[in-house]
Amino acid sequence: MKKAGAVVCSFLLVLSFTGCAIRGNHVEVATAPVVLYAPSPQYPEAARMSGVSGEALLKVTVDSFGQTSAAAVSSETPSGQGFGKAALAAVREWVWEPGKLQGRPVNQGRQVRVRFSAYDREASPVPLIASKTAPQVPEEFAKSGEMAAVLVLAEVASDGKPYAVSVLKELPGPKGLAAAALDCVKQWRFYPGTTGAVTVLVPFGPKEATGSGQ
């Protein structure tokens, strides 16, 4: 079971690789993705025990549904302490408000710096997902071959069960998937002991079949 440590892991978006489009005589620049849910990485045990602080710089791709679709470690300081691996595992679970170009969600690359401090004791960890099931995909949507996603806000109790679950947004727009997303997240479980609100992404696509689960 994962437990929230006393050390702090923080993140900083340091650079974006935005796209642009030329319309008429002006250039439209894509807006950058915004982090909605960013669980802190597990602090490498050896570094924690030794009181070693550090950071990792990652190159990530945020897709049009707000998922981290790709991530790689650009550098870690100091090396050999496991900061890159820990940051990579966490960032893959982050949920984003997608970047937009001409008002439409687009894939965008970013660099993210994740800092690990062995001395800051003011950490406020968010609940971490322990297990999740796939949504029940409506048959009509499954046949369409489309992809979509639903951002869901959930309050998590100390026993790891979500409650007060609500839809924040459907991406790219309403597809009649809200009810399926809510039913899905209500079955998810989080690691006990950490309470609070989390934003999670429920993806829907042609790979999922009606009645599927995991």
- pLDDT tens-digit series, residues 5-20: 444 555 554 433 334 4
Residue 109 placed within a domain: yes
Query: In this structure, what CATH number is given to the domain that contains residue 199?
Result: 3.30.2420.10
The whole-number pLDDT of residue 211 equals 38
- pLDDT tens-digit series, residues 154-184: 999 999 999 999 998 888 778 889 999 999 9
106 and 27 inside one domain: yes
Please report where in the chains the tokens 């900083």 appear, as a residue: 12
> What 8-state DSSP symbol labels residue 82?
S
Domain limit, last residue, from 86, 117, 148: 117
pLDDT band per the 50, 70, 90 thresholds, residue 206: low
pLDDT > 60? residue 4: no
Q: How many CB atoms lie within 10 A of CB 45?
A: 11
87 to each of 47, 81, 131, how far by Cα in Å?
A: 14, 12, 20
108 and 138 inside one domain: no
